[in-house]
């Protein structure tokens, strides 16, 4: 017998309170985002299904799904959604919220955090630094996988696609960090976080 989903408004309220979370209320489950999504096949649940999980109060399944981390922010769903749900912005909010709650132990989540640390540290991304941060956090099993890709990495260096030399930190990095911190503080104030 098919399990009947019980609605749980509590979890939905938590998500609606995120900066762009209220837009999810407009979702009419049409599926346009599913069929438009380039990375749908890699996701545990489509964006539309994720919203259903939220409405059903399936908190653990929601945060443990890889959906938000597999979103490549291509914008296709955002431009096609007939209800104007800005899915990319919602996905960003969900990533940030998931990290804040400690649901960030997937490889994709680690990659996002490593990317962010690079940007905030230098003002730009150094691939070597990004990978070092990623592999050090993921541990030996991932380091081994990374080592298996060494030929690809060397080819990319050879063809100047990546550099072994870290780039200079941008001018005004302190100013950039201050702007980002101010924006985050403002956002926390607005959403009561
Ligand atoms: S395209 Fe918009 S309305 Fe349709 S399922 Fe996706 S989010 Fe909901
Ligand atoms: S923005 Fe993300 S969820 Fe939307 S279509 Fe692109 S990859 Fe899929």
Q: Find out whether 44 and 66 touch, Cβ atoms under 8 Å.
A: yes
Ligand 2 pocket test: pick from 24, 30, 39 the residue with the most ligand atoms within 8 Å of its Cβ.
Answer: 39
Dig out the tokens for 147 from the structure.
């080592």
**Segment 138-144 mean pLDDT:** 86
Per-residue pLDDT tens for 82-107? 999 999 999 999 998 998 899 988 88
Q: Which ligand is nearest to the CA of 78?
A: 2
Nearest CA to ligand 1 atom 6: 33
Angle, alpha carbons 27-99-29 (nearest 5°): 10
Ligand with smallest separation from the Cα of 36: 2
Look-up: residue for tokens 């109060």?
57
Position 70 pLDDT exceeds 90: yes
Task: Identify the CATH homologous superfamily for domain 9-101.
Answer: Alpha-helical ferredoxin (1.10.1060.10)
pLDDT at position 12 is 93
- Report how far ligand 1's centroid is from the alpha carbon of 22 (Å): 13
Task: Report the SS3 class of residue 149.
Answer: coil
User: Which ligand 2 atom is at minimum distance from the Cα of 74?
Assistant: 6
pTM of the model: 0.80
Name the phi and psi angles at 126, rounded to 5.
Answer: -105, 120
In the chain, % of residues over pLDDT 90: 68
User: Any idea which ligand is nearest the CA of 92?
Assistant: 2
Task: Say if residues 69 and 112 touch (Cβ distance below 8 Å).
Answer: yes
The CA-based angle 40-42-43, given to 5 degrees, is 65
b/e code 67-97 from CB counts within 10 Å (16+ = b): bbbbbeeeebbbeebeeebbbbbbbbbbbbb
pLDDT of the residue at 193: 53
CA quadruple 106, 111, 113, 114: dihedral sign: positive
- Predicted local distance difference test score (pLDDT) of residue 115: 93
Instruction: Look up tokens 């490889």; give the residue.
Output: 107
Q: Band of the pLDDT at 141, cuts 50, 70, 90?
A: confident
- Centre of ligand 2 from the C-alpha of residue 147, in Å: 30
Name the residue of 31, 43, 84 whose CB sits within 8 Å of the most ligand 1 atoms, as the mutation to test its pocket.
Answer: 31
Query: Taking residues 138-164, what's their average pLDDT?
Result: 88
- Residue 1, pLDDT score: 53
In this predicted structure, the answer to whether residue 4 has a pLDDT above a threshold of 80 is: no
CA-nearest residue, atom 2 of ligand 1: 81
Instruction: Say what the pLDDT of residue 23 is.
Output: 97
- CATH 1.10.1060.10 maps onto the chain at 9-101
Identify which of 15, 20, 32, 43 to mutate to test ligand 1's pocket (most ligand atoms within 8 A of the CB): 32
What is the arithmetic mean of pLDDT over 43-49?
Answer: 95
Q: What is the pLDDT of residue 7?
A: 65
């Amino acid at each position: 017998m098919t399990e009947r989903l019980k609605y749980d408004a509590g979890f939905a309220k938590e998500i609606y309170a995120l900066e762009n979370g209220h837009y999810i209320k407009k979702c009419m489950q049409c599926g346009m985002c599913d069929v438009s999504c380039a990375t749908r096949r890699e996701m545990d649940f489509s964006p539309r299904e994720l919203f259903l999980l939220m409405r059903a109060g399936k908190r653990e399944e929601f945060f443990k799904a890889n959906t938000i981390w597999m979103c490549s922010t291509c914008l296709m769903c955002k431009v096609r959604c007939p209800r104007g749900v800005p899915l990319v912005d919602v996905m960003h909010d969900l990533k940030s919220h998931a990290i804040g709650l400690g649901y960030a132990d997937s490889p994709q989540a680690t990659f996002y955090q490593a990317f962010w640390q690079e940007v905030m540290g230098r003002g730009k991304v150094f691939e070597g630094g990004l990978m070092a941060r990623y592999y050090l956090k993921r541990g030996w099993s991932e380091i081994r996988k990374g080592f298996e890709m060494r030929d690809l990495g060397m080819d990319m260096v050879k063809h100047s696609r990546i550099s072994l030399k870290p780039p200079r930190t941008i001018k005004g990095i302190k100013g950039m960090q201050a702007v980002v911190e101010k924006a985050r503080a403002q956002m926390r104030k607005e959403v009561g976080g």
